[in-house]
């Protein structure tokens, strides 16, 4: 399996002050281990009296904007928090349904003036998040890992954090009253990513849990990993993206050159990570830009990723994507390098920003040149 790791010296595990944890880019409520550091071994008889693996006791929660395939999420029993989209005089509920998303692409994203610039992404409220997670919380779950939409995009992170604190209080008390002796813990991680970037963290958390990593160690692993997640995005409709690049809180881009660029059929290739979003390159035509983006991802796979997964989402029919020669090349490279390739229909939430037929590719690597 060809992927890299960044090694660091051993760092002692920090003491935790509570059972609900938050991880934001400035550092979170607790100092975390450096990437590749080894935590002291815990006593399994104290943490896990039944000796069940953490993967069987952990509920994974994320948002519809992760854009991972629905069947894969179902297999992992992951809980998908919905979003509400408000634009013009209309509202749409984004529940991660691919068929509903395709109808949204066809009906609401067609035409230059299809969606006004007052569009908003509205996550569940704190109480709504609490109710949604509580309704989907299995009785056997001792841990919840919530990989949240980036805090700069919407209030999903803060709402999830508030709901986590309340779940710890109320659900933890109910468990004790029912005779459960094992502690209940919940972590909320600010993904800090753009578009479908949080999918990399979700997929990696599943892989790490399946390989026997403890839930607490997985959270520290994700906290170190998120700054290495890169997203390459190509908006096919540049006019739409220019008007909606602030919908989800992304830093405004410089569009001065695109008045002329539009006449020359220049399509931007966007690069986003925890530091922000920028125009990395421009190509003549959307097809050429998409090909270049896929080839850049292929080169990164061949050079070695930090974790073995690539996540691709498309605001259209993904059957089209499978026919593209550049995607076939990416698929072949992933197979050869032992990397999982996830292809999914883009969520309405992300499509509202990038527009119909837009493409997003996310993975974790040490450096990226498009």
pLDDT tens track for 298-309? 999 999 999 999
Angle between helices 126-135 and 156-177 in degrees, nearest 10: 50
Q: What is the tally of structural domains in the chain?
A: 3
Q: What is the mean pLDDT of the chain?
A: 80
34: in domain:
yes
How far is residue 236 from each of residues 11, 231, 252, 318, 342, measured CA to CA in Å?
46, 16, 18, 15, 21
74: in domain:
yes
CATH number, residue 338:
3.30.1180.10
The range of the structural domain enclosing residue 306 comes to 228-364
The DSSP bridge pattern shows strands 359-364 and 309-314 to be antiparallel
Per-residue confidence (pLDDT) for residue 25, from 0 to 100: 38
User: Which two three-digit tokens encode residue 362?
Assistant: 């996310």
In the numeric block, the tokens 């992170």 are attached to 157
What are the backbone dihedrals phi and psi of residue 156, each rounded to the nearest 5 degrees, phi first?
A: -60, -40
| Residues 176 and 213 placed together within one structural domain of the fold | yes
The answer to whether the pTM exceeds 0.85 is: no
| Residues 236 and 348 placed together within one structural domain of the fold | yes
Question: 298: which residues sit within 8 A by CB, 6+ positions away?
Answer: 326, 329, 330, 333
CATH number, residue 150:
3.40.50.10440
| Residues 30 and 74 placed together within one structural domain of the fold | yes
| Residues 69 and 101 placed together within one structural domain of the fold | no
- Average pLDDT over every residue of 324-335: 97
**Which is more confident, 346 or 170?**
346
Q: Is residue 232 within 8 Å of residue 299, measured between CB atoms?
A: no
For 58-78, what is each residue's pLDDT tens digit? Answer: 999 999 999 999 999 999 999
| Residues 114 and 146 placed together within one structural domain of the fold | no
For 233-286, what is each residue's pLDDT tens digit? Answer: 999 877 667 665 555 555 445 544 444 455 457 888 999 988 888 888 889 889
- Average pLDDT over every residue of 131-152: 89
């Amino acid at each position: 399996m060809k992927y890299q790791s960044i090694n660091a010296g051993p760092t002692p595990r920090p003491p935790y002050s509570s059972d609900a944890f938050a991880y934001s880019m400035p550092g979170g409520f607790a100092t975390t281990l450096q990437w590749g550091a080894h935590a002291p071994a815990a006593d399994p008889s104290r943490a896990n009296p039944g000796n069940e693996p953490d993967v069987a006791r952990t509920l994974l929660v994320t948002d519809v904007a992760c854009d991972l395939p629905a069947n894969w999420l179902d297999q992992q029993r992951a809980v998908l928090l919905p979003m509400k989209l408000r634009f013009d005089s209309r509202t749409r509920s984004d529940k991660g349904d691919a068929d509903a998303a395709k109808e949204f692409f066809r009906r609401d994203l067609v035409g230059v003036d299809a969606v006004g610039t007052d569009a908003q992404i509205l996550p569940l409220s704190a109480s709504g998040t609490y109710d949604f997670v509580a309704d989907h919380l299995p009785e056997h779950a001792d841990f919840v890992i919530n990989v949240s939409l980036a805090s700069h995009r919407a209030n999903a992170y803060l709402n999830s954090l508030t709901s986590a604190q309340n779940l710890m209080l109320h659900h933890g008390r109910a468990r004790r009253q029912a005779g459960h002796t094992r502690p209940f813990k919940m972590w909320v991680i600010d993904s800090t990513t753009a578009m479908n970037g949080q999918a990399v963290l979700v997929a990696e958390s599943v892989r790490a849990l399946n390989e026997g990593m403890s839930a607490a160690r997985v959270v520290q692993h994700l906290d170190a990993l998120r700054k290495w997640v890169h997203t390459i995005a190509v908006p096919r409709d540049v006019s739409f993206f220019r008007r909606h690049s602030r919908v989800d809180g992304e830093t405004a881009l410089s569009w001065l050159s695109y008045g002329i660029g539009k006449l020359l059929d220049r399509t931007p290739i966007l690069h986003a990570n925890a530091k922000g979003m920028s125009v990395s390159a421009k190509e003549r035509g959307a097809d050429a830009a998409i090909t270049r983006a896929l080839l850049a991802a292929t080169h990164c796979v061949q050079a070695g990723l930090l974790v073995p997964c690539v996540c691709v989402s498309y605001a259209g029919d993904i059957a089209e994507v499978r026919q593209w020669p550049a995607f076939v090349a990416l698929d072949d490279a992933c197979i050869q390098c032992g990397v999982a390739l996830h292809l999914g229909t883009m969520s309405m939430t992300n499509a509202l920003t990038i527009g119909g037929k837009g493409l997003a590719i996310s993975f974790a690597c040490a450096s990226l040149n498009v």
